Amino acid sequence: MLRIKRTLSLWRTATFRLAMIFATIFGFGAAILLIVLDFGVARFAEEELHDALRHQMAIMRADAQLEGGAALANILAEHVRTDSINRYYYLVIPPSGEVFNSGIPEEVKTISGFGTLQATASDVSRNGEISKIGVIVLTERMPDGTFMAVGRESSYLNALRSGLNRIAIWGSISLILLAIIAGLFIGMLFLRRLEHVNSTTGRIIEGNLSERLPSIGFGQEFDVLVRNLNEMLDRLEAAIAGMRQISTDFAHDLRGALTRLRNQLEELESSSDTQKTKIESAIEEADSLLSLFNAMLRLARLEAGSIQYDMITVDLAEIIRRAIAAYLPAAEDGGRQLLCNFDKAYPIIGDPALLSQLIANLIDNGLCHTPPNTTIEIELLSEADAVILKVKDDGIGVAEAEILNLTKRFYRTDQSRTNPGTGLGLSLVAAIVELHRAEMKIKNRYPGLLIEITFKHATL
Partner 1 sequence: MKVLLIEDDQKTGAFIVRGFAELGHSVNWSVDGKIGLEVALKERYDVIIIDRMLPGLSGLNIIEILRKKCITTPILILTALSAVDERVEGLETGADDYLGKPFAFSELIARVRALYRRGKDENVGSREEIIIGDLHVNLRTRSVSRAGRRLDLTPQEYRLLEFLIRRAGQTVTRTMLLEGLWSYDFDTQTNIIDAHVSRLRSKIDRDFKKPLLHTLRGVGYVLDAKN
Give yes or no for residue 356 binding partner 1 (CB under 8 A): yes
- Cβ nearer to partner 1, comparing 238 with 330: 330
Asked if residue 410 binds partner 1 (CB under 8 A), the reply is no
| Residue type, position 345, single letter | A
Interacting stretch for partner 1, rule CB under 8 A, among 146-154, 171-179, 236-244, 293-301?
A: 293-301
Closest CB 388 distance from partner 1, rounded Å: 22
CB 160 within 8 A of CB 15: no
Report the residue number, 258 or 325, with the smaller CB distance to partner 1: 325
| Adjacent-strand bridge partners of 443 | 450
The reply to whether 284 sits near partner 1 by the rule CB under 8 A is yes
* Own/partner long-range contacts of 18-26 (Cβ < 8 Å, ≥24 apart): 18/183, 19/179, 19/180, 19/182, 19/183, 19/184, 19/186, 19/187, 20/180, 20/183, 22/179, 22/183, 23/176, 23/179, 23/180, 23/182, 23/183, 24/176, 24/179, 26/175, 26/176, 26/179
Binders of partner 1 among residues 254 to 283 (CB under 8 A) are: 280, 283
Which of the ranges 117-125, 218-226, 240-248, 320-328 carries the binding residues for partner 1, by CB under 8 A? Answer: 320-328
Phi, psi of 267 (to 5 degrees): -60, -40
**Among 70, 95, 91, which residue's Cα sits nearest to residue 145?**
95
From 105, 395, 421, 448, residue interacting with partner 1 (rule: CB under 8 A): 421
Stretch that binds partner 1, among 185-193, 224-232, 235-243, 349-357 (CB under 8 A): 349-357
**Which of 89, 90, 327, 411 touches partner 1 (CB under 8 A)?**
327
Among residues 119 and 433, whose Cβ is nearest to partner 1?
A: 433
Can residue 305 be called a binding residue for partner 1 (CB under 8 A)?
no
d(CA 269, CA 264): 9
The answer to the question of residue 357 lying near partner 1 (CB under 8 A) is: yes
Cβ partners under 8 Å of residue 79, min gap 6:
86
Asked if 4 touches partner 1 (CB under 8 A), the answer is: no
DSSP structure class, residue 457: B
For 318-338, b where at least 16 C-beta lie within 10 A, e where not — what string? ebbbebbeebeeebeeeebeb
Q: What is the DSSP string of 257-291?
A: HHHHHHHHHHHHHHSSSPPHHHHHHHHHHHHHHHH
Q: Which of 308, 341, 418, 459 binds partner 1 (CB under 8 A)?
A: 308
With CB under 8 A as the contact rule, the residue among 307, 349, 386, 450 that binds partner 1 is 307
Q: Which residues, 367 to 386, sit near partner 1 by CB under 8 A?
A: 367-368
Span near partner 1 by CB under 8 A; candidates 70-78, 209-217, 420-428, 451-459: 420-428
* C-beta of residue 395 within 8 angstroms of C-beta of residue 447: yes
413 binds partner 1 (CB under 8 A): no
Decide whether 152 or 336 has the Cβ nearer to partner 1.
336
Which positions lie near partner 1, rule CB under 8 A?
280, 283-284, 287, 290-291, 294-295, 298, 307-308, 310, 322, 325-327, 329-333, 352-353, 356-357, 360, 363-364, 367-368, 420-422, 425
